[in-house]
A and B are shown apart, each in its own frame.
Chain A
Amino acid sequence: MIDRPLSTFVKHLMPENQRPADNKKPVSMWMEMDRLNGQPEQTCVAIFRTTGCSWYNFTSCSMCGYFNDISKTVTEEDLMKQTDSIVHYLGNTRTLKIFTSGSFLDEIEMPPVARDYFFDSVHDRIDKLLVESRTEYVTKKTLEPIKRRGINARIAIGVESTNDDVIRKSVNKGSSFSKFVTAAETSKEMGFEVRSYLLLKPPFLSEKDSIEDCKKSIEMVAPYSTDISVNPMNIQKNTFVEYLWKRGLYRPPRLWSLANILLWANENKYLVVSYPTGGNRERGVHNDSPDEILLDNIIKCSLKQEFEPLREYVNSSDLGEYNETVEMEDTYPLQFDLQKFTLEMRSSRLSL
């Protein structure tokens, strides 16, 4: 299930010491739009600062940089203080998404006392709660406290890809498709919704292959998912993907590829959203030149599940170079960023 050399290598990239942080405050909180209740609405997002994902003791996913935000000294009291901040920030907003730097349902990362304090603090203030977890912590036992309080929840699971080879060799997740199926079925049985996250363009996959991998994964997770969120790669600090990227051995996906997937999913009646992090930036999903209209279309169409504007924009654009590049990239022996390399080399030649 794991590629040991890769796991070991990823571990050695992770910083040994955490940045100093205020354990009593969440990592971050903000308001954004999402559609957890069938239409776009204001949603509060909060990231608990925790002792971190259980996976970090061993390694990390190749794209995950949340270990940069953990604090080994966070206590139950700190987590309850953080809950107070979140409740205060939530105000009248009735939809809440909770992230940790790992799994909310992991009782070591989020001890029962703090977790129950959180549930008790929010259960009558919200209509919908989204929490994230690795598959192994999605059990009847961990879901029971949510159910008991009558909280309407969506369990978000990072599937990334349904191809176990990709999970092992590219994502380094230590998971599998069958573990996802078990977790999703458990959630359903307990009466909860499921959001599946898919990763667009894990390392070592060409853009073309990654599009295929993503579509295939959408087909496979759809029967178990309330909705599917496609996350195009965003390069975070101290990650394996950053290591490759800095050496010119990785290029984040293009916006055109993400649009392609969303339009395909829409045509095939899958409920797929994408709210890219770092869009149009060097470290995030971007075309050869920034395209704010395209990114905006992707987010807005995802929210409304109304894809005509995106389809029109794509159909009226010249994708010749994009298609050519993606085809070429698919035959490279390695997934290097040849366009960036070529541009960097260009200046060191005699030119007129």
Chain B
Amino acid sequence: MLLDIGFFGWARTGTLNDSYQYPLMLRSREGQIKKESGKLNILGEVFPTLPRTEFHADNPTPLYEESDNILVLTDGTQLIRRPRAFFNYLMKVHSSNKYRKILYLPGISDPFLIPVLVYLGISIFDDFQLRLESRDGIVYGPFGITRSQENTETENGVFVENSLRVLRESIKSLGIRNIVENCQLSATAIALLRMSDRLMNTQGNDVYPSYSGKIFAYNGQALNRPDIVRYRNFISSEYSQPENNKLMLLIPCSARKPYSFSKSHRRIIEAIYPFRKYIHEVIVTSPLGIVPRELEDMYPASFYDVPVTGDWSTDEKLMINSMLDSYIKKGKYSGIIAFLPREYDFISETLEQSEIIWGNHSNDSDLSTLRERLRMEVSNLKEKAVPSSHWNIVSKLRLQFGSWFPDISKDIKVIRSYNLEQVLLDNKVNFVVVPDRGKLTITKNAAHYFSEAGKNLIEIDDFKPTSNIYAVGITGTSDGIRQEDEVVIHHSGEVRGVGVAKMPRDAMLSLSKGVAVKVRN
């Protein structure tokens, strides 16, 4: 029996048969993996078809062999040094398994490889490799491997167990991506992550959660994080800017998030204050590319941390230029003005039709140049400016739920209560802006938007949901639901509540145990 208590995409943590917390490493000396009467026995579960004693001809072998709760990835070990083949093999296994059982990849105990494998959905490893390496005096350590004259099995065992404990925690806290991306001590692991990002970003990444807390974008691979790519794709292809602001002002990012809380942005805002309602402020940054001001307090814009040096990598320059180019082509701005420090000069080619004021927020004369330039530009505008706060809510809703979300800017009222922005329609609270999570939560009053669009819907058996909905209670979901999405809970067309998805869609549909939705009342 599997009881999952946390997911992150394919990664999962929980308890097997009330006894073993996964992800885990099988200890062969303790008989956690053994051969009994010619059959393989893992944690008490018997595999009728293992050890493999015959050839399987179907292309070239079955994907896996299984016991009650465990799948053995019989082809995985030989494929691991071919990242694309390994990833595709694993995806075949996932799409056939759909979280029913946990996956065991034999022959791996390398603590530098295990994190990415856990991230890709492997839950069981074994200690054979560890025993072989320890015999040779290989020492696993936080910075890589060293060597010893002694047999290092005990200390290596502790190291791997500790790593697995942290990984289990990181799945629950949604932080595993940060570990995998930033603890890079194995070429094989790095290759697997890169390949996984590339293929996930081209083949679809619905399994990746819609929220994962703080993003530590400390190296180049952050550019390819599925949630960041998802964000950039939205901005490039689905985002539409507010109709009423015709002048685009391009400004640099800041270390502090949201940007407008930073000293640099406060000074810029102060300088342009009288004209702000005529302007759509757009921030240039990496790894997100472009952040329209109204999305700065949403996920992922207010959740990433990057090392700031003023230097941009080739990949970053390429990404920003291409994103800016498509953004400008798509946009309907009457004019574009950029106020940027010199280290942004790599975008001048993309901005050749626009006016660039090279300047710095700390320089008063640069700021007054900007202000005077805007004064002139704004006086040329014929249309009357409309406050954009209502549009901003629509923009946030579209980022979070998709561009299908209707334009309700004319109908809503925004009030502040308990220091939170609440979005009212017909005097009923429909949405609450929650900056801590970079999202808007929905209330039952907003359920009809989702019912009508057929989005973010969970269908349950006939019961009154209270705090948690377990997977067994779920009878169906709409397409595209991701872990951490806001969802509307239905039974036979009747709204029964709202909440947050806590597992990937496939898991909700095929598992019986585990919390699938946290209900909010």
Tell me if A3 and B106 are in contact (CB < 8 A).
no
A352 touches B146 (CB 8 A): yes
Q: Are A332 and B144 in contact, with the CB atoms below 8 A?
A: no
Determine which of B52, B133, B187 lies in contact with A204 in the assembled complex, contact meaning CB atoms within 8 Å: B52
Residue of B nearest to A348 (CB): B187
B 37-86 contacts with A by CB, 8 A: 40, 47, 50-57, 60, 65, 72, 74, 77-78, 81
A321 at the interface (CB under 8 A from B): yes
Once the chains are docked, how many angstroms separate the CA of A166 from the CA of B420? 73
Q: Across the interface, do A348 and B57 meet the contact criterion of CB distance under 8 Å?
A: no
Do residues A334 and B144 form an inter-chain contact, with CB atoms below 8 A? no
Q: Which residues of B contact A6 (CB under 8 A)?
A: 54-55, 57
Q: Scoring A residues 322 to 339 as 1 if CB is less than 8 Å from chain B, else 0, what string do you get?
A: 001100101111111011
Known A-B contacts A204-B52, A330-B35, A333-B52; A349 and B78 likewise in contact (beta carbons under 8 Å) = no
| Beta-carbon nearest neighbor of A206 in chain B | B51
Separation of A352 and B144 alpha carbons in the complex (Å): 7
CB B159 to nearest CB in A, in angstroms, measures 13
Neighbouring A residues of B34 by C-beta, 8 Å: 331
Does A17 count as interface, using CB distance less than 8 angstroms? no
User: Smallest distance from the beta carbon of B77 to chain A beta carbons, Å?
Assistant: 6
Cβ–Cβ contact B51 & A335, under 8 A: yes
Q: Return the CB mask of B114-147 against A: 1 if under 8 Å, else 0.
A: 0000000000000011011101001000011111
Residues of chain B contacted by A351 (CB below 8 angstroms): 144-147
Given contacts A8-B57, A339-B132, A351-B146, contact A333 B186 (CB under 8 A): no
Contact of A9 among B57, B72, B185 (CB under 8 A): B57
| A350-B77 in contact given A3-B55, A330-B35 (Cβ < 8 Å) | no
20 additional A-B pairs beyond A169-B54, A328-B128, A334-B51, beta carbons within 8 Å, are A5-B57, A6-B55, A169-B53, A203-B55, A204-B51, A204-B52, A204-B53, A204-B55, A332-B128, A334-B52, A334-B74, A334-B106, A335-B52, A336-B106, A338-B129, A345-B81, A346-B133, A348-B186, A352-B143, A352-B144
Minimal Cβ-Cβ distance residue in A for B41? A331
Out of B28, B56, B77, name the residue touching A248 (CB < 8 Å).
Answer: B77
Q: Please, which residues of chain A bring their CB within 8 A of the CB of B40?
A: 331, 333
10 CB-based A-B contacts, threshold 8 Å: A3-B54, A8-B57, A165-B53, A321-B135, A331-B34, A331-B35, A332-B107, A345-B81, A349-B185, A352-B145
* A349 touching B135, Cβ below 8 Å: no
Q: Give residues of chain B (233-248) contacting chain A, Cβ–Cβ below 8 Å.
A: none
A-side interface size class: 35 or more
State the Cβ distance, A17 to closest chain B Cβ, in Å.
Answer: 24
Residues of A within 8 A of B133 (CB): 342, 346
Contacts of B186 in A (CB 8 A): 348-350
Q: A341 at interface (Cβ–Cβ under 8 A)?
A: yes
B322 at interface, CB cutoff 8 A: no
B33 in the interface, Cβ–Cβ < 8 Å?
yes
The answer to whether A338 touches B128, judged by C-beta atoms less than 8 angstroms apart, is yes
Q: Determine which of A330, A331, A332, A349 lies in contact with B187 in the assembled complex, contact meaning CB atoms within 8 Å.
A: A349
CA distance A345 to B52 in the complex (A): 24
Residue A249 lies at the interface, judged by CB distance under 8 Å to chain B:
yes
Closest chain A CB from B408 CB (angstroms):
53
Residue in contact with A333 in the complex, picked from B56, B65, B129, B146, CB distance below 8 Å: B65
Bound-state Cα–Cα, A336 to B61, Å: 15
| B58 to chain A: closest residue by CB | A5
Once the chains bind, are B55 and A342 in contact (CB under 8 Å)?
A: no
CA A9 to CA B143, docked complex, whole Å: 46
CB distance from A317 to the nearest CB of B (A): 16
Q: Does B144 contact A333, Cβ atoms closer than 8 Å?
A: no
List the A side residues contacting B187 at CB < 8 Å: 348-349
From B65, B78, B138, residue with most partner A Cβ within 10 Å: B78
Question: Does residue B305 face the partner (Cβ distance < 8 Å to A)?
Answer: no
Nearest Cβ in chain A — how far from B66, in angstroms?
Answer: 11
A333 to B143 CA separation, bound complex (whole angstroms) = 31
Q: Let me know if A141 is at the binding interface, CB within 8 A.
A: no
